[in-house]
Chain A
Amino acid sequence: MYDPTVARLTYRALLGRRRAAILFVLPALLLVIAAAVRMFAGADDQIAANVLGGFAIATMVPLIGVIAGTGAIGPEIDDGSIVYLLAKPVKRPTIIFTKLIVAIAVTMVFSALPTLLAGLILNGNGQQIAVAYTIAALVASIAYSALFLLLGTVSRHAVVLGLVYALVWEALFGSLVEGARTLSVQQWALAVAQKVAGGDAVTSEVGLPLATVLLVAVTAAATWYAGQKLRTLKLAGEE
């Protein structure tokens, strides 16, 4: 199911592109904000939760997910170099699964790790806030990667669509429309984090059972469907 060569190519493609700069900029920004807040406001649990929930989970994690998820396959399809993977006796779902693992790993490293560090800077993990949001970031990384990998496989406008979902749907509609929150990776991840961290430092609009089912279902369905789409991928740019 996992092909180390596909993984190597994907890592190098993801981290070697200019777009990868965002992978470093966003976490750096989070750490700078955390340090500044701590310096000016001191250790405050509520502020820590606001920064981690408002910037790290609501903005940074989905953006990193878009970059890693779509970037793991989109550019290869766009420029046609994926032909070198497809012209091989390698099962298509194996290619997708491997790219998913890479996207998840990259999203986790560039979003969950900075979230933990920022949490430690903000209030030294008081009330388990740093750990809770880190768990939310880890969980969200999986679902976002699967979702955006599928987008990268089916659409040439994957990045734009991904940004629309991440910023417009999750951030804007999620805060305005009650129902939209039920269909939000962010809320599902927070539900898991709430359970793991305990207490009321983290809250979610969605109950844990529903969140878990939706997380697993979306991840599995997106991955399966991307594998099917890759089997019948038409290479663009033909006459």
Chain B
Amino acid sequence: MTTIEIDHTSRWFGNVVAVNDVSMTVGPGVTGLLGPNGAGKSTLINMMGGFLAPSTGKVTLDGRQIWRNEAVYKEIGIVPEREAMYDFLTGKEFVVANAELQGLGGAEAQRALATVQMEYAQDRKISTYSKGMRQRVKMASALVHEPSVLLLDEPFNGMDPRQRMQLMELLRRMGHEGRTVLFSSHILEEVEQLASHIEVIVAGRHAASGDFRKIRRLMTDRPHRYLVRSSDDRALAAALIADPSTAGIEVDVTEKALRVQAVDFARFTELLPKVAREQGIRLLTVSPSDESLESVFSYLVAA
């Protein structure tokens, strides 16, 4: 069980504050670090990976300071965002070199290559690899020493859907094994599909923490928008607007649907099926129309 603890940590570059008084604990399982581009995710990951000193505060691995402490790399595996690798090596040579630097050898390298399913291309030069292949070899280099902590900066960038699924599966498995897996992303779907726990960073601040739906529901004072289709839209609209949980309804003629704005999330989710049943109306579609990361971000930024 390995835990990364970030304690009242800030990091600034000149006059620019990249990370602003963030405290969080990253424990076993898969954690998603979510935030728009430029929010400070990479800065945070770089501090967790020991490549950047916190300006104030502490970043520790099971109580041990990470900055300027190369011993932590026995337990940490890092998958950087940047493309640059030793392109003149073959995939196998690269992973073997990474294994040797961990005090290991060819057997461990071969196992890591098998884990990411790159054995078929291991003897090709890295310079000939696609982006997804590079990502997998980077992954193998981070896995050779079976680290208890895995840090990945935007690991899904540039991957095709199949590679994305494979990597998600691998990370999920590592989380189940009790490893501490943290990945950053600015794409909601990735984080939702993979992470059991989410930390949201917006403009350098720690905006929210927890399960995504929980985070979403915590914002009850924020209007929620739904797209609803039913067997009788106008009757449903009349019944919904009578309740204070609904702030507004628009009949969208072109979409043949209702656009409902709810102000009391919990009450509305109970009201809607109840009203439909009482009125004998069939609900055909109920979908949140703004459950996108952008809308959550814009809400968090405004708050």
Q: Which residues does A use to contact B, with CB under 8 Å?
A: 3-6, 8-9, 12-13, 16, 79-81, 83-92, 231-235, 237-239
What is the bound-complex CA distance between A88 and B76, given in angstroms? 9
Known A81-B85, A238-B43; contact A86-B100, beta-carbon cutoff 8 A: no
- B residues less than 8 Å from A3 (CB atoms): 101
Are B42 and A5 closer than 8 Å at their CB atoms? no
Q: Is the CB of B53 within 8 A of A232?
A: yes
Given contacts A83-B82, A89-B74, A239-B18, 20 further A-B contacts (CB under 8 A): A4-B100, A5-B97, A8-B97, A9-B86, A79-B82, A84-B85, A86-B51, A87-B77, A87-B142, A89-B70, A89-B103, A92-B70, A231-B68, A235-B46, A237-B82, A238-B42, A238-B46, A239-B38, A239-B41, A239-B42
Specify which chain A residues have a CB less than 8 angstroms from the CB of B231 in the assembled complex.
none
Closest chain A residue, CB of each to CB of B88: A16
Q: How far is B82's CA from A239's CA once the two chains are assembled, in angstroms?
A: 12
- Could you tell me the distance in whole angstroms from the C-beta of B213 to the nearest C-beta in chain A? 28
Would you call A87 and B73 a contact (CB within 8 A)? yes
B89 beta carbon closer than 8 Å to chain A: yes
Cα distance A6–B98 when bound, in Å? 10
Q: Which residues of B contact A232 (CB under 8 A)?
A: 53, 68
* Contact B141 A84, beta carbon cutoff 8 Å: yes
In the complex, A233→B52 CA distance in Å? 8
Report chain B residues within 8 Å CB of A79.
Answer: 82, 84
Given contacts A3-B101, A80-B82, A87-B49, whether A239 and B68 have CB atoms under 8 Å apart is: no
Of the A-B pairs whose beta carbons lie under 8 Å apart in the complex, a sample of 18, sorted by A's number, is: A9-B86, A79-B82, A83-B78, A84-B86, A84-B97, A86-B51, A87-B76, A88-B73, A88-B101, A89-B72, A89-B74, A92-B70, A232-B68, A233-B51, A235-B51, A238-B43, A238-B52, A239-B38
Q: Is B56 an interface residue (CB 8 A)?
A: no
CB distance from A238 to the nearest CB of B (A): 5
Is the C-beta of B80 less than 8 angstroms from some C-beta in chain A? yes
Known: A88-B73, A88-B102, A90-B101. A83 touches B42 (CB 8 A): no
In the complex, how many residue pairs between chain A and chain B have their CB atoms under 8 Å apart? 82
Q: What 6 pairs between A and B have smallest CB-CB spacing? A: A79-B84, A88-B101, A5-B100, A81-B84, A80-B82, A16-B88
Partner of A87 from the list B78, B82, B86 (CB cut-off 8 Å) is: B78
Q: Is B32 located at the chain interface by the 8 A CB criterion? A: no
In angstroms, Cα B51 to Cα A83, docked, is: 8
**CA distance in complex: A13, B78 (Å):** 22
CB distance from B107 to the nearest CB of A (A): 16
Which residue of the partner chain A has the closest CB to B13?
A238
Most buried by B among A4, A12, A92: A12
Asked if B71 is an interface residue, CB under 8 A from chain A, the answer is: yes
Task: Please measure, in the bound complex, the distance between the C-alpha atom of A98 and the C-alpha atom of B78, giving whole angstroms.
Answer: 23
B27 within 8 A of A: no
B58-98 to A contact mask, C-beta < 8 Å, 1/0: 00000000001011111011101010111011000000011
The minimal Cβ–Cβ distance linking B283 to chain A, given in whole angstroms, is 44
B40 within 8 Å of A (CB atoms): yes
Least Cβ–Cβ distance between B103 and chain A, in angstroms: 8
CA distance A86 to B70 in the complex (A): 8
When chains A and B are docked, how far (Å) is the Cα of A13 from the Cα of B85?
11
Q: Within the assembled complex, what's the spacing in Å between the Cα atoms of A4 and B52? A: 27
Closest beta carbon of chain B to A106's beta carbon, Å? 16
| Interface residues as binary, B189-232 with A (CB distance below 8 Å gives 1, 0 otherwise) | 00000000000000000000000000000000000000000000
Query: Do B76 and A239 touch across chains, with their CB atoms under 8 A apart?
Result: no
Contact: A89 with B102, CB < 8 Å? Answer: yes
Inside 8 A of B18's CB, which chain A residues have their CB?
A: 239
In this complex, which of B68, B71, B73, B82 has the most chain A Cβ atoms within 10 angstroms of its Cβ?
A: B82
Q: Give the docked Cα–Cα distance between A231 and B77 (Å).
A: 18
Interface residues of B in 99-137 (CB under 8 A from A): 100-103
B47 nearest CB across to chain A (Å): 11
Q: Is the CB of A239 within 8 A of B73?
A: no
B136-147: CB near A (< 8 Å → 1, else 0) gives 000001100000
A12 and B88 contact, Cβ closer than 8 Å, known pairs A5-B101, A87-B49:
yes
**Beta-carbon contact of B100 and A239 below 8 Å:** no
